[in-house]
C-alpha cells in the first residue's frame, strides 16, 4: 500500500472558514485518518503549507493541528514545484488575482466561493484555467449537507411528481455588536471589503437551484440594509453600507418558481437555519441542514379557512422524516476528498469547477442589478 503525497498551499487558513471547515474538519481530519483511500488501496496524503500574514497565528494553528509547514511568503510557495495545488479561503476581493497568479505558476486550483467579486473576473479565471489545462474546483458545500442530499434522493425517486415551486428560508439574527459581539466578521457588512448578503448567498443559491431543481434563467431581487450601523471587532461603530437581507425570486428551466429569503436580520422559528420546501404535484419535501421530511399527496391534510377557531390540524405532525441511510461526513471534507481524487486521476470528472463558480457570481451580480434597476434580469448562458 503506497502513500501519494499532495502538496497544498493553503491561503487564508487563519479565517473562520479556512480554520474551521478547511483545515480542522477537512485537511487535518483527512491526515489524522491516514489520508484518502484510493480504489487500489493506496492513500492520498495531503501535505499542507499554511500561508497567511501573521506568523504567530500560523504557528499556533500548525501546532494545534499537526502541520509542519507554514509561510508568510505566498510568492515563494507558488514558486515551489513540490506543492501542486493552490487553495484560497481568504478575502473574496483578492481571490481572482491570487487565482491568476497561481494558474500562471502552474498550480491546480481549489477555492472558496465567490471566485471573484465581479463576473468579468470570475469568467477570466475560469477561461485562464481552461487554457492552462489545469484542474480546478470551487467549494459548493451546501450540496453536501445531509438534508440536501436526502432532498436530492427524494427528487430523484419521483416522489414529488412535477415540481411546482421551491421556498427557501435562510438566516438568523446576527448581533449588532453592542449588547454582545457579532457572530460574523464586520467585512460582511462593508461594500469596500466585499461584503453583502447578495454576493455571499446568491452564489450558493445558484448551485443549489441548478443542481437540484433546474438551471436558473432569471432573477428578481430586492435587497435591504435593515441595520445601517453595527459595532466592529475593534468595539467601534461603523456604517453597514451593503445589503443584510435579500428577497429573491428565481425562474428555473422547466418552469419551477423558486423564492429564497436570505437574511442576517431575522429570528428563527422554523426547523433549521436554512430550509428548502419543495412542492410538487404528488408530494412535498422540506429539508434543513441535516434532516428532510416528506408529505405525499394522500397524506396531505385538508384545511378549511376558519379564523374563528384555533387551528385543529397539527401541520408539523403530517410529515415523515427521511431516515439516515448512510454516514454523512462533514460536507466540506466530502468535497475536498472528491476534488483530491479528481486531482490524481482517480475520478474523471469534478463538475463544480471555476465555470460553476462564475455562474454563482453571475447570479449575485444579476441580483444586485435587479435590485438597483428594480426589474427582472435574464441570465445569459456563459461560455468557457
Ligand atoms: N462556503 C461557505 O459556506 C462560506 C461561508 C462563509 C464565508 N465563505 C467565504 O470564505 C471566505 C472567507 O470568509 P470568512 O468568513 O472565513 O472570513 P474571515 O474574515 O474569518 O477570514 C478571512 C481571512 O482572510 C485573511 N485576509 C484578510 N485580508 C487579507 C489580506 N489583505 N491578505 C491576505 N489575507 C487576508 C484574514 O487574515 C483571514 O484569515 C470569503 O471569500 C467568503 O465569501 C464561504
Among the atoms of ligand 1, which is closest to the Cα of residue 13?
A: 39
pLDDT (tens digit, 9 = 90+) per residue, 361-381?
Answer: 999 999 999 999 999 999 999
Q: What is the 127 CA–ligand 1 centroid distance (Å)?
A: 24
* Same domain flag for 151 and 31: no
Q: What is the 184 CA–ligand 1 centroid distance (Å)?
A: 11
Pocket of ligand 1 contains residue 139 by CB under 6 Å:
yes
- Please indicate, yes or no, if residue 380 is contained in any of the structural domains: no
Q: What is the 11 CA–ligand 1 centroid distance (Å)?
A: 10
- Confidence band for 190, pLDDT divided at 50, 70 and 90: very high
DSSP string, 199-214: HHHHHHHHHHHHHHT-
Task: Round to whole Å and give the CA distance between 174 and 162.
Answer: 37
pLDDT confidence of residue 383 = 83
User: For the chain, what percentages of helix, strand and coil (3-state, to nearest 5) are there?
Assistant: 35, 25, 40
Pocket of ligand 1 contains residue 141 by CB under 6 Å:
yes
pLDDT (tens digit, 9 = 90+) per residue, 116-127?
Answer: 999 999 999 999
Residue ranges making up the domain that contains 90:
3-141+331-350
* Same domain flag for 115 and 191: no
* Same domain flag for 73 and 187: no
The pTM assigned to this predicted structure is 0.96
Q: What is the 88 CA–ligand 1 centroid distance (Å)?
A: 9
Percent of the chain clearing pLDDT 90 (strictly above): 99
116: buried, middle or exposed (CB in 10 Å: 19+, 13-18, 0-12)? buried
* Same domain flag for 148 and 134: no
Pocket of ligand 1 contains residue 18 by CB under 6 Å:
yes
- Please indicate, yes or no, if residue 317 is contained in any of the structural domains: yes
- Please indicate, yes or no, if residue 115 is contained in any of the structural domains: yes
Place of cell 411546482: 164
Pocket of ligand 1 contains residue 200 by CB under 6 Å:
yes
* Same domain flag for 241 and 315: yes
Amino acid at each position: 500500500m503506497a502513500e501519494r503525497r499532495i502538496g497544498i498551499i493553503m491561503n487564508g487558513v487563519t479565517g473562520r472558514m479556512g480554520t474551521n471547515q478547511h483545515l480542522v474538519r477537512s485537511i487535518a481530519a483527512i491526515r489524522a485518518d491516514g489520508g484518502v483511500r484510493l480504489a487500489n488501496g493506496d492513500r492520498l496524503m495531503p501535505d499542507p503549507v499554511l500561508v497567511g500574514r501573521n506568523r504567530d497565528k500560523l504557528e499556533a494553528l500548525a501546532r494545534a493541528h499537526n502541520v509542519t509547514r507554514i509561510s508568510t511568503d505566498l510568492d515563494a510557495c507558488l514558486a515551489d514545484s513540490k506543492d501542486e495545488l493552490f487553495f484560497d479561503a481568504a478575502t473574496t476581493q483578492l481571490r481572482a488575482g491570487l487565482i491568476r497568479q497561481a494558474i500562471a505558476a502552474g498550480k491546480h486550483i481549489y477555492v472558496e466561493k465567490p471566485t471573484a467579486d465581479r463576473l468579468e473576473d470570475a469568467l477570466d479565471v475560469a477561461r485562464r484555467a481552461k487554457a492552462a489545462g489545469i484542474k480546478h474546483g470551487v467549494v459548493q458545500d451546501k450540496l453536501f449537507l445531509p438534508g440536501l442530499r436526502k432532498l436530492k434522493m427524494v427528487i430523484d425517486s419521483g416522489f414529488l411528481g412535477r415540481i411546482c415551486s421551491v421556498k427557501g428560508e435562510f438566516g438568523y439574527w446576527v448581533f449588532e455588536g453592542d449588547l454582545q459581539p457579532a457572530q460574523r466578521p464586520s467585512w460582511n457588512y462593508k461594500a469596500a471589503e466585499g461584503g453583502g448578503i447578495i454576493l455571499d448567498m446568491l452564489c450558493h443559491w445558484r448551485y443549489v437551484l441548478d443542481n437540484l431543481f433546474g438551471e436558473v434563467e432569471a432573477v428578481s431581487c430586492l435587497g435591504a440594509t435593515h441595520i445601517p450601523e453595527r459595532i466592529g471587532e475593534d468595539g467601534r461603530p461603523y456604517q453597514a453600507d451593503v445589503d443584510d437581507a435579500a428577497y429573491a425570486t428565481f425562474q428555473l428551466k422547466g418552469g419551477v418558481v423558486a423564492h429564497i429569503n436570505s437574511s442576517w436580520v431575522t429570528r428563527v422559528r422554523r426547523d433549521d437555519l436554512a430550509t428548502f420546501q419543495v412542492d410538487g404535484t404528488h408530494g412535498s419535501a422540506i429539508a434543513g441542514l441535516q434532516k428532510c421530511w416528506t408529505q405525499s399527496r394522500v397524506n396531505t391534510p385538508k384545511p378549511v379557512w376558519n379564523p374563528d377557531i384555533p387551528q385543529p390540524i397539527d401541520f408539523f405532525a403530517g410529515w415523515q422524516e427521511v431516515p439516515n441511510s448512510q454516514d454523512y461526513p462533514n460536507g466540506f471534507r466530502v468535497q475536498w476528498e472528491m476534488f483530491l481524487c479528481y486531482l490524481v486521476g482517480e475520478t474523471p470528472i469534478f463538475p463544480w469547477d471555476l465555470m460553476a463558480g462564475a455562474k454563482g457570481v453571475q447570479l449575485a451580480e444579476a441580483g444586485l442589478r435587479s435590485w438597483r434597476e428594480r426589474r427582472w434580469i435574464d441570465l445569459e448562458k456563459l461560455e468557457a
